[in-house]
Amino acid sequence: MIISVRELDLAPVKFNESIVPGVIAWTPNATQVGPLVATGEATLDEMTQEIRFSGHLAVTLQLECDRCLAPIALAVDTPIDLVYEPLPETVPGQELELHAGDIDLGFYEGEGMELTDVLREQVLLDFPSRALCGEECKGLCPVCGVNRNEQGCTCTTTIPDERWAALRNL
């Protein structure tokens, strides 16, 4: 669903979307399990041309544990509150300077925004920085690849310091 500036100029746009798995491209190790349900409203500030999305979304994703690669269910159930400004016009090659207050802003180009892009961004903002199946996850053995949470291994993971190899032969 495209939210256009022209449409917002007339009145706020309400949305009530249910997006099935496969429509939104997540990260390589994330898969959408059920529908993404989003309700809310998009409004336009006529003076600044800022588009504000507010509402609520819920979705369940399946991630991989960063240590042992086991599947993890991530339930995202969060309010939506995102603000987008029109991308400032710059000279090609010129960098855009951002200020401290700009950290909560996004930018858009053209005549509007795609709602699925907004929802994707909100979900990605709720991703954990490190996805773990549990605080005590032992991960995979770097030598034999066994999942240390399921079984132990006797591999040594210490790497000898080769700078002293000549002295070992004396």
Identify the pLDDT of residue 165: 78
pLDDT band at 46 (very low <50, low <70, confident <90, very high): confident
For residue 160, the one-letter residue type is P
Render pLDDT for 66-99 as a digit per residue (tens, 0 to 9): 999 999 999 999 999 888 888 777 656 777 676 6
* Average pLDDT of the residues in 7-32: 91
